Structure 1
């Protein structure tokens, strides 16, 4: 079937792709502010280099793995769309948008998915090993899972992945493919690399909450494209998703702050930022299948549960540095299961959740998707990290970790706090407050 390109849909999808790409620099700020000052630049670089490595790898093979004609519902044909060469003439379409626009949009998804993974291993990973791992994880973990979850039959190829087409689990924009996969993968990475020096005994507080709040704001802004763009059309369904993407994080932020206030006695800016992100994570799979009331309910649950979950790492002695497990894995599970509970048949998905008289039919499908994606990501990420660690090494030296990973890995620092020495200006005339040179500037200056 030949589809006619709709310019409005195309404009919305390209705009959404740009918004999703902006999320990765936003994540760089968010993560960068959460680490200590001696590791901020490395944390930012881990996100930025993911744009380069994943961007290239996605065009070469990742898109084909995710959206090529399915090999048994498990993997797309890895050479079918290699280098995106088949889309150069612009003829193929995905629905009412150019296939190349769809490939670009999904490529930005892949970038943020890989960048998220770095939050579990902050301040102790060599930059070279992370650069390699970012490509390996895309090819081995993310692209196959994206095929399972996003590649509907007939979307880009006759046959797609098993979760969306056989299991019929609902995942709008990656509650399983991104959030659960990243959370489970981050858990595996944290186990392989071990804890940071001083974890549990040395304070490791965020060094710059201004950066954290800025990053959270950019993530929220970009998330409107992340979720609403997944509708692939500029219409009523996209509008519903947009509203849900506003309401869920609002509710989650309030829930997180309430839990924090009752538990710790303070409502913090880190709690506000983390609560908003938890709500965004939870509405990612469910935003297109619940009403605004359902979105707020999912946000409240995600904010409250994730606020408690982030403290579990201390109980188990697991150094999930920036709470990837507590926010993204737990939030992804809440949102994905939320579809089985709160899906409203009036939405475009026409799915009926448990609370709308649908029984457990959809709930068990959502649960299976969570369990399979989580288990696959954990095992494959553990294997990848183990191989990389034993071959080229992943962990920085003890000295580098103590003095600062920024200097050790990049020969730079995030902040230059060296005091200015007056001796450096000897022999140079010093400007006065009203002008340059030794005379005041003014209308009578010759």
Structure 2
């Protein structure tokens, strides 16, 4: 059987989304100190391994409810290992797998510089099984959030590519994990500066590149795909402008780190809404997200939690903004575009539900992992650098030149 045009595009999009997790590893790796780059990048790579295996074993089965089925999630045992899955669905299986990988990897930025690999892997596997797979089923697999509109007599919840499932879910989990892990040694404004601006830039470029497939991988028509691509370009562009404006107004010197963060804020915000906003409203959304997230990353200092790489300030905040924004500006059903408050109601319910569930479940998982493994590395290892002590590798290995021996005369 020949592949359809849509199936070919989904295959291409799967490859685009797959490269986003190594891109995230580079983005996060550039943001940490030089002595923990390997550890930080390995968190993303290990998430690909653990979650990829779990997705094939039972994650895909948990991700979908059978017709008329209700509950917490689909059964992990109804098709263990995909032995009975129709091969025609394997493209969908692969596309879902790369989403699960990066969703889990996003959380790791909250615990940079102080958590061991074993603790992270244990948390990642349990979190994916008990939080990501069920929430994905609620929103995309026929679960209660997907049917919330029909239940309440309102428009259906809109979440194109994961405003709730991915960004709000991971952001709430990151907050819980950061609270349990505690603060880094010497935590404070300016105490842990990024070690590589070029690495951050390369990572951000790969994320934006892959985000085209992330948002448009299941687009079925040319006009829809075109709108998604334009919005996925426009919102992060406006996010860059918004972030730089905030830095300039506050008297900060604009930099590449801020610009890259503004792009990510815009990308996160447009994720749930790229197919349902006119480009003008997508630009406004990106600008709002860039401005809001530029302020939000300072919350950790005021509130006293150590979210190392601002997963909360970027993904949770921009994810909430992008999901709720649909209630005001979505085609036909927004409060300002259709005079209907029903969409805003169901968007709000879905956002609050995922925030509460993910935070509480993640907090319990993190406490359990801490009880089993201790979670954090010893203070001496944290101070000297995790890479050499725990991984035996360095991000940059410089050879010492050996002086030439003078020839005997």
In structure 2, how many angstroms separate the alpha carbons of the residues matched to 1:21 and 1:264? 38
Matched, 1:165 2:153: no
Q: What's 1:218 paired with?
A: 206
Gaps in structure 2 of 5+ consecutive residues: 150-155
How does the TM-score come out when normalised to structure 1? 0.87
Matched, 1:401 2:391: no
2:101 alignment partner, SS class: helix
Question: 5 Å matches for 1:291-310?
Answer: 291-310=278-297
Q: What's 2:162 paired with?
A: 174
Question: 5 Å matches for 1:361-380?
Answer: 361-380=342-361
Partners of 2:135 and 2:354 within 8 A in 1: yes
Partners of 1:186 and 1:324 within 8 A in 2: yes
Give the C-alpha shift of residue 427 in structure 1: 8.8
Partners of 2:65 and 2:143 within 8 A in 1: no
Partners of 2:18 and 2:98 within 8 A in 1: yes
Q: What's 1:276 paired with?
A: 263
Q: What's 1:432 paired with?
A: none
**Stretch deviating more after TM superposition (259-268 or 321-330):** 259-268
Matched, 1:258 2:245: yes
Question: 5 Å matches for 1:55-66?
Answer: 55-66=52-63
Give the C-alpha shift of residue 239 in structure 1: 1.6
In structure 2, how many angstroms separate the alpha carbons of the residues matched to 1:236 and 1:104? 25
Q: What's 2:98 paired with?
A: 108
Partners of 1:34 and 1:322 within 8 A in 2: yes
1:322 alignment partner, SS class: coil
Give the C-alpha shift of residue 404 in structure 1: 0.1
Q: Residue 394 of structure 2: which of 413, 437, 445 is its match?
A: 413
Gaps in structure 1 of 5+ consecutive residues: 91-97, 152-159, 346-351, 429-446
Q: Residue 18 of structure 1: which of 15, 18, 39 is its match?
A: 15
In structure 2, how many angstroms separate the alpha carbons of the residues matched to 1:258 and 1:402? 36
Question: How many positions carry a matched residue from both structures?
Answer: 401
In structure 1, how many angstroms separate the alpha carbons of the residues matched to 2:398 and 2:390? 19
Give the C-alpha shift of residue 264 in structure 1: 2.8
How does the TM-score come out when normalised to structure 2? 0.95
Q: What's 2:73 paired with?
A: 75
In structure 2, how many angstroms separate the alpha carbons of the residues matched to 1:11 and 1:414? 37
In structure 1, how many angstroms separate the alpha carbons of the residues matched to 2:362 and 2:373? 16
In structure 2, how many angstroms separate the alpha carbons of the residues matched to 1:416 and 1:48? 21
CA deviations on 1:65-104 (whole Å, 9 max, x unpaired) are 11242742531122223212223x62xxxxxxx3110110
Higher RCO (CA-CA < 8 Å; seq separation 6+): 2
In structure 1, how many angstroms separate the alpha carbons of the residues matched to 2:45 and 2:258? 25
In structure 2, how many angstroms separate the alpha carbons of the residues matched to 1:5 and 1:274? 41
Give the C-alpha shift of residue 421 in structure 1: 2.5
Q: What's 2:305 paired with?
A: 318
Q: What's 1:203 paired with?
A: 191
2:254 alignment partner, SS class: coil
Partners of 2:148 and 2:346 within 8 A in 1: no
In structure 2, how many angstroms separate the alpha carbons of the residues matched to 1:196 and 1:418? 31
Q: What's 1:183 paired with?
A: 171
Aligned CA-pair RMSD: 1.7
Q: What's 2:326 paired with?
A: 339
1:215 alignment partner, SS class: helix
CA deviations on 1:335-366 (whole Å, 9 max, x unpaired) are 00011011013xxxxxx101112332111111
Partners of 1:74 and 1:162 within 8 A in 2: no
Q: Residue 33 of structure 1: which of 30, 35, 38 is its match?
A: 30
